[in-house]
Structure 1
Amino acid sequence: MSLLTPTPDMIAKIKLAGLLYLVVILTGLGGELGLRAPLIDLADADGTAAAILGAPGQFRLAIAADILMALCDAGLAVLFYLIFCPMAPALALLTMILRLIQTVLIAVSVMALLTAWLILTKGDDLTNAAPLALIFLDLHAHGYDLGLIFFGVNSLFMAVLVWRSGQFARIFALGLAAAGGVYLVGSGLRFFAPEWSTPFTPVYLVTILAETAFCLRLLFQKKRP
């Protein structure tokens, strides 16, 4: 028997969670891989400065994507709490708090991007401004990964909730658990073994597949007969 009753209200919450999750995935991947990554090379301050100043709209759009992602992620955290609270109130609350911490850290890290932008656009001497701006861009990357540490733990707890719910196939729980492990390892490497961070990047494909699959499952939630 399902631990979560698929009432019309519950189904509406699940579908809305899927929609917000889709926006989070699109803005997260689009902002980082599609918009920001082509402009930033943390090993080349001058090249990065030239790329950002040559594409100001693209850089600002990446900032906007992060802000929108944070807003949707906050809503998603609350929705997941409402969905799983009837089943496991304490675990659902802890899971929501961890996701909200991640959201706050990512939102605060946007200030590092804005600081880098101000340094590059307000200064007269790019020779000195470019290395300083690069430090703030690197700070943003570290702040992002710090948030993903909390999100990694959140994903592990989400896996437990999904596994126990009886509403979702347990393969989704296994996927979320795998994603949580990848986030924890990848972010840990950023802080404690940065030389391994870049070679580990392809493993993040696991998180994309797992989260996208769960997102689609939420979107296409149907009332059980």
Structure 2
Amino acid sequence: MKTNARTAGVLYLIIILTGLFSEMFVRSTIIVSGDATATAGNILSNSFLFRIGFLSDLIMVMSDVGVALLLYLVLKPVNQGLSMLAAFFRLAQATVLGINLLNYFMPILLLSAGNQFSTFSPDQINELTLLFLNAHSYGYLISGVFFGISCVILGHLIYKAEYFPKWLGVLVLAAGISYLIDCLVNFLFPELASTSEILVVTVAVVSELSLCLFLLIKGVKDN
């Protein structure tokens, strides 16, 4: 069990690092909100960085699959059914993220197609590029619903487990709720999205980092 927990911690750290890299060092520097021409220009001038962002996200998704299995094994003694359910929801999140990477990569295909899309004007190609990137951001929100439910179940299991501190279970459960709130706000009340994003940053990031560090440093005792 200790090996599974430590391995989950390593994969969780990979998820955090690759996710932050893709978001903060790739998308936030290349995508210009509402400006299709500037965004397309940034992609063309930083195409290798953009591709590295794609690879980083792909590594993140594959690591998430591993974490789903390992956390299932770690928490199975608490409640096998709920542990499996949490793993299934996390795998559903990884599936959505994996498919959503098509939206991320489409701008590269569009902008490097040459005469393949000659019926489209450059401005139309740029607009399509931004459309796919916007779709990618909403794909993340859809995956967040599955992840939020997984975290709620996971938080409950961690709280019940004797080999985890109860405060960690509360944090993970709160993170799940914050993800769900952020997703619902973005879809139903987009004008409040900036507020819900603050909630995710302050609660979910602290929670996931705490879980990652606990698994890496403290681990759990073998049965």
Q: Note the residue ranges of structure 1 that are not aligned, 5 or more in a row.
A: 1-9
SS for the counterpart of 2:112 is: helix
Partner of 1:181: 177
- Displacement after TM superposition at 1:222 (Å): 5.2
Structure 1 contact 17–218 (Cα < 8 Å) conserved: yes
Q: Structure 2: 5+ residue runs without aligned partners?
A: 116-120
State the identity %.
Answer: 30
* CA–CA distance in structure 2, aligned partners of residues 66 and 27 of structure 1: 6
The 10-residue stretch of structure 1 (207-216 or 32-41) with the greater mean CA deviation from structure 2: 32-41
- Show the 5 A alignment for 1:121-160: 121-123=112-114, 125-160=121-156
Q: Distance in 2 between matches of 1:30 and 1:52?
A: 16
Amino acid at match of 2:25: G
Determine the structure 2 residue equivalent to 1:94: 85
Match of 1:55 among 29, 46, 60: 46
**Aligned pairs (5 A) from 1:29-108:** 29-108=20-99
Deviations 1:71-121 (A, max 9, x none): 000000000111111220100110000000000101111001111221122
RMSD of aligned alpha carbons: 1.6
Alpha-carbon distance between aligned partners in 2 of 1:153 and 1:53, rounded to the nearest angstrom: 38
Once residues 189 and 114 of structure 2 are traced to their aligned partners in structure 1, the CA distance between those partners, rounded to angstroms, is 34
Give the Cα separation in 1 of the matches to 2:44 and 2:74.
44
For 1:112, the equivalent position in structure 2 comes to: 103
Relative to structure 1, the CA distance from residue 123 to residue 195 in structure 2 (aligned partners, 3 Å threshold; closer, same or farther) is farther
4+ residue runs of structure 1 moved beyond 2 angstroms? 123-126, 198-204, 221-225
Conservation of the 8 A alpha-carbon contact between 1:11 and 1:221: no
Change (3 A) 1:40 1:199: farther
Normalising by structure 1, we get a TM-score of 0.91
SS in 1 for 2:177: helix
User: What is the TM-score with the length of structure 2 in the denominator?
Assistant: 0.92
Q: Secondary structure at the match of 1:167?
A: coil
Residue pair 1:102, 1:150 contacting (<8 A) in 2 also: yes
**1:110-160, CA deviations, whole angstroms, 9 ceiling, x for partnerless residues?**
001111221122156421101011111111111111001100010000000
Q: Which residue in 2 is equivalent to 1:196?
A: 192
Q: How has the CA–CA distance of structure 1 residues 49 and 220 changed in structure 2, closer, same or farther, with 3 Å as cutoff?
A: same
Q: CA separation in 2, counterparts of 1:85 and 1:134?
A: 43
Change (3 A) 1:223 1:200: closer
Is residue 12–residue 212 contact of structure 2 (8 Å, CA) maintained in 1? yes
1:172 aligns with 2:197: no
Distance 2:220 2:53 in 1: 38
1-side partners of 2:77 and 2:166: how far apart? 19
Report the Cα distance in structure 2 between the residues aligned to 1:224 and 1:138, rounded to whole angstroms. 44
